[in-house]
Amino acid sequence: MTRLPLARMAEIADEGARTGTAIAQFTNDHELDVPDAYAVQALSISRRVARGERVVGVKMGLTSRAKMAQVGVDEVIWGRLTDGMLLADGAPLSLGGYVHPRVEPEIAFLIERPLGGRVTAMQAMDAVGAVAAAAEVIDSRYEDFKFALPDVIADNSSSSGIVVGAWCDPSTPIDNLGIALSVDGRNQEVGSSAAILGDPVRSLVEAARMVAEAGLQLEPGWIVLAGGATAAVPLVAGSSYRVTVESLGRVGFTVTE
Ligand code: OOG
Ligand code: MG
């Protein structure tokens, strides 16, 4: 095991994401603990910001059993979202620039008032201006989509693309909504928003707590993704993907090549 400077790891992770090129798992050859992994994540996002991107929110990850089981990591994680990751609903998606992308159904919160630290579910929802159905395109930069906990955190929790649907009234109950992810019109994954820590608002509570550990707060205008309620499915050229969330609506895209 050798030590690699955190800034060098950030450069490797950022370049992998920027160019859509697979990288080796850091923890195979290098020491990396969870706090350092979040530092690498912050440094790699600084590189994107230096290129002109803007942070637009955070995504929570591994907040459901289905997601934990799929990637073999069972800790809740978070990552940073930038405007460069935003994709328009219904727009074609090209596979160029991705390593091995997958899509998963998500619920998005739009933050209206600053939120950070230890908060109750009620305080968390008070800070929310709207909720929406969303689809997240995740793309681990690691070979074979294989990673340990510090690796995935350093890779910005596999963040790659986000499609957010129409914003809905924040008083819409979201604790037990039917969720479906369809491929070419056929349901491939189905579940409930209750799979997200029992209630997606708990994921928002965790987001407020975890970003505060990094000295941040959830800012007005930010998007918070609660985490996939089902396993993610690989993107295949020529197929159409749609996420439907009961009461909130649907979002989707077609993969071109
Ligand atoms: C890690 C990212 C997890 C989620 O919603 O659970 C995530 C991964 O699965 O590669 O985005
Ligand atoms: Mg996700």
Helix axes 6-19, 34-50, angle to 10 degrees: 60
For residue 68, the model assigns a pLDDT of: 96
Q: Is the CB of 255 under 6 A from ligand 1?
A: no
Q: Is the CB of 104 under 6 A from ligand 1?
A: yes
CA of 156 to the centre of ligand 1 (A): 10
H or E element in which residue 209 lies: helix 200-213
CA distance 212 to 189: 33
For residue 1, the model assigns a pLDDT of: 83
* Consecutive 10-residue averages of pLDDT for the chain (257 residues): 94 97 97 97 98 98 97 97 97 95 98 98 98 98 97 98 98 98 98 98 98 97 98 98 98 94
The fold adopted by the segment(s) 6-255 is: Fumarylacetoacetate hydrolase; domain 2 (3.90.850)
Instruction: Give the residue among 33, 36, 42, 238 at the shortest CA–CA distance from 156.
Output: 42
Which pair of tokens denotes residue 206?
A: 């965790």
CA distance 121 to 205: 6
233 contacts: CB under 8 Å, gap ≥ 6: 102, 103, 104, 181, 183, 188, 189, 241
Instruction: Give the residue among 130, 94, 240, 101 at the shortest CA–CA distance from 181.
Output: 240
Of how many residues is the chain composed? 257
Of 25, 71, 81, 156, the one to substitute when testing ligand 1's pocket (max ligand atoms within 8 A of C-beta) is 71
Domain residue extents for the chain: 6-255
Q: How far is CA 43 from CA 6, 22, 152, in A?
A: 8, 19, 14
Ligand having the closest approach to the CA of 136: 2
Phi, psi of 4 (to 5 degrees): -115, 140
Q: How would you classify the pairing of strands 178-183 and 159-164?
A: unpaired
